[in-house]
């Protein structure tokens, strides 16, 4: 019979390490209930200012709840993780961290904004800018194989810090098992984020979640895959979109050009400071590859949901 487990809030880790003993061991069909910490592990608080970001201890970022072992999981299997429930707990923050993000040369100074998430359905970027709350874990993964103990931030074929915002309630994430037991961990929860997370943060926040685990034996996948209920953007679809394009033979440069144009559009059209426009883009703008077949130039488009402005 399937069981429900409660993951202890005091058990976290900050690197991927397949030598850790599992905190819990589950069977196919079991559910684990989590309450996870925000990504700074308490270094950012509702009373923090941008000046506090200079004092972050980078070895204490990305506290992950885990590992959870799946009994019988072996390399060559797939761990299925179904998001049964997920919602925010109280408050969150977004920041520009000097040297990080898509446009660090454009925005070299620290920026921090605190959000009230107690409404549960939406929060305010400014009085006239409303952001729907669509929670998800930025990081979910199994432990990679090998002797290395990599930091959390870059993703890999094992999953990890994927920052894929559509893996939310009702979704199923499929992870290729790398090590015996799978050793699953999660954290880095976001209340909202655009596809791309261009300033390097979503709305970072503590999170409650219930995840159900299953095991697919003998099925090999090269990297994570997921299934999510549609439509993808139901909370903003009715308001229409404004898009800016980047056209360049290099996809990364096309992305930067597209986002720079979007930052300028938001700033000049809605009266936000450029740094605010950049942070807002990280929370609501979706990047899409519009074209990769007309060599030598490719197109990346930035889509702004107009519903966030109430018009």
Quote the pTM value.
0.96
The pLDDT of residue 193 is: 98
Output the CATH code of domain 4-219: 2.60.120.580
- According to CATH, where is 2.60.120.580 located in the chain? 4-219
* Mean pLDDT of the 138-150 span: 92
Per-residue pLDDT tens digits for 212-263: 999 999 899 999 999 999 899 999 999 999 999 999 999 999 999 999 999 9
Q: What is the spatial distance between Cα 188 and Cα 171, in angstroms, rounded to a whole number?
A: 17
Q: What is the Rg, in whole angstroms, of the alpha carbon atoms belonging to the chain?
A: 19
Q: Write down the mean pLDDT value for the chain.
A: 97
Q: What is the DSSP string of 141-175?
A: EEPPSSS---BSSS-BTTEEE---TT--TT-EEEE
Tally of CA atoms within 13 A in the half-sphere of 20 that contains its CB:
27
Q: What is the spatial distance between Cα 109 and Cα 103, in angstroms, rounded to a whole number?
A: 11
Distances (CA, A) of 274 to 257, 270, 285, 311: 15, 11, 15, 21
* Mean pLDDT of the 72-80 span: 97
- According to CATH, where is 3.10.28.20 located in the chain? 237-309
Per-residue pLDDT tens digits for 46-69: 999 999 999 999 999 999 999 999
Is residue 310 predicted with pLDDT exceeding 80?
A: no
End-to-end CA distance of the chain: 51
Q: What is the spatial distance between Cα 278 and Cα 263, in angstroms, rounded to a whole number?
A: 6
Per-residue pLDDT tens digits for 166-194: 999 999 999 999 999 999 999 999 999 99
Residue 2, both tokens: 């399937």
> Considering only the top CATH level, what class is 237-309?
alpha beta
């Amino acid at each position: 019979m399937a069981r429900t487990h409660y993951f202890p809030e005091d058990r976290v880790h900050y690197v991927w390490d397949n030598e850790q003993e599992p905190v819990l061991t589950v069977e196919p069909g079991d559910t684990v209930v989590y309450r996870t910490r925000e990504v700074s592990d308490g270094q950012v608080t509702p009373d923090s200012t941008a000046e506090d970001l200079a004092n972050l201890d980078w070895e204490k970022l990305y506290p992950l709840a885990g590992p959870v072992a799946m009994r019988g999981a072996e390399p060559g299997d797939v761990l299925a993780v179904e998001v049964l429930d997920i919602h925010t707990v109280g408050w969150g923050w977004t920041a520009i961290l000097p040297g990080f993000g898509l446009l660090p040369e454009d925005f070299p100074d620290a920026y921090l904004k605190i959000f009230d998430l107690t409404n549960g359905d939406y929060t305010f970027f400014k009085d006239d800018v409303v952001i729907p709350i669509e929670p998800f874990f930025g990081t979910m993964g199994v432990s990679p194989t090998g002797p290395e103990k990599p930091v959390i931030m870059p993703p890999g074929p094992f999953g990890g810090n994927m920052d894929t915002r559509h893996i939310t309630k009702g979704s199923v994430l499929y992870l290729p098992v790398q090590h015996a037991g799978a050793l699953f961990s999660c954290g880095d929860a976001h209340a909202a984020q655009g596809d791309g997370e261009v300033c390097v943060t979503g709305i970072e926040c503590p999170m409650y979640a219930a995840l159900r685990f299953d095991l697919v034996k003998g099925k090999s996948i090269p990297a994570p895959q997921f299934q999510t209920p549609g439509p993808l953007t139901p909370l903003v679809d009715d308001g229409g979109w404004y898009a800016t394009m980047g056209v360049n033979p290099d996809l990364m440069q096309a992305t930067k050009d597209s986002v720079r144009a979007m930052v300028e559009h938001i700033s000049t059209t809605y009266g936000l400071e450029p740094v605010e426009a950049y942070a807002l883009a990280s929370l609501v703008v979706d990047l899409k590859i519009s074209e990769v077949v007309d060599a030598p130039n490719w197109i990346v488009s930035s889509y702004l949901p107009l519903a966030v402005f109430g018009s």
